[in-house]
Structure 1
Amino acid sequence: MSDIINPTAGGDSRPAGKALTGHTGSGTAPETRGRTSIADSVVEKIAGMATREVPGIHSLGSGMARTLGAVTDKVPGGKPSVSRGVKVEVGERQAAVDLDVVVEYGVAIVDIAGEVRNSVITAVERMTGLEVVEVNITVDDVHLPDEEDEEEGESRVQ
């Protein structure tokens, strides 16, 4: 690697293994030129999509967030929010994720929580390079087979 210091070359007295910072130019590796910042909203979308891909997850968001989301989704031009029910904290190298989910009736909540954690950690770490330090899951509701979805139900107001 060109950014590792060799104490025997050129008389540099810094210990080997310390990365140089601030170097630019044609002699440095492209991945070390500049800084990449990832917005919280990007990680929220990735975590939201990874959660929805897990079988047994009915929806995301607490009761009020789902209700408000269903109304906003019906407004002309409104789009469903992929990040509804997802909150993240993103640092320089790490991220923490909080999820509010609704599960399908009959699924083992402990098992599905493990699957969601695995899915979210894998997706976020693969796509962003951030280390996911925790994924906290709150199960807000259980969707029963005979319940109508708020999103699919007919609105009382027209």
Structure 2
Amino acid sequence: MNSQTDELGKVEISPEVIEVIAAIAASDVEGVSSMRGNFATGVAEKLGRKSHRKGVKVDLTDQGIILDVFVVIEYGFSIPSVGQEIQTSIRQELQNMTALDVKEINIHVVGIHFEQKDNLISDTEY
């Protein structure tokens, strides 16, 4: 748990809260198709339980907070640009909501989503 102290007492922020904020911030970036969770997350979602922490791993180290974010990118988007936008979005949201500074935000692109094109009709069809 990460905590901050003031005159009134402590405010503790659990790693799970950091995961949720980061996952939502990453999902809102244009070009991100989905977040990729682990096997347990997949099973939970099959049972009808949505996981807002999916695709984010938080490590609280002596050097600071390190995030690993696992995403699937939409085909046609620049992977480096989307990755940078994810890092910026997560950093801003965590700073705004928790006042925490993150040491590293590592983006892992684990797939590309190809849009399925149904019922295409060409101009040359008679």
Q: Give yes or no for TM over 0.5.
A: yes
Identity score, percent: 32
Structure 1 unaligned runs (5+)?
1-30, 148-158
| Alpha-carbon distance in 1 for matches of 2:103, 2:43 | 34
| Corresponding position of 2:111 | 141
Is 2:25 the counterpart of 1:33?
no
CA contact (8 A) 2:63 2:103 kept: no
What is the root-mean-square deviation in Å for CA atoms of aligned residues? 2.4
| Corresponding position of 2:66 | 96
Which letter maps to 2:87?
A: R
* 1:127–1:90 distance in 2 versus 1, CA, 3 Å: farther
| Alpha-carbon distance in 1 for matches of 2:97, 2:63 | 13
| Corresponding position of 1:72 | 44
| Corresponding position of 2:87 | 117
Instruction: Return the index of the structure with the highest Cα Rg.
Output: 1
The offset of 1:100, in angstroms, is: 0.6
Structure 2 unaligned runs (5+)?
1-5, 118-126
More strand by share: 2
Aligned length: 113
> What per-residue deviation string (whole Å, max 9, x for no partner) do you get for residues 44-84 of structure 1?
0000000000011011116xx3x654443232xx3211111
- TM superposition outliers: structure 1 runs of 4+ over 3 Å: 67-71, 90-94
Q: Is 124-133 or 82-91 further displaced after alignment?
A: 82-91
> What per-residue deviation string (whole Å, max 9, x for no partner) do you get for residues 68-116 of structure 1?
54443232xx321111110012369942211011000000000001100
| Alpha-carbon distance in 2 for matches of 1:118, 1:61 | 19
Q: Secondary structure at the match of 2:87?
A: helix
Q: Which of 43, 54, 78 is 1:108 aligned to?
A: 78
The offset of 1:134, in angstroms, is: 1.0
CA contact (8 A) 1:37 1:92 kept: no
Which letter maps to 2:22?
A: A
Q: Is 78-87 or 49-58 further displaced after alignment?
A: 78-87
Instruction: Select the structure with the greater relative contact order (CA < 8 A; seq sep ≥ 6).
Output: 2
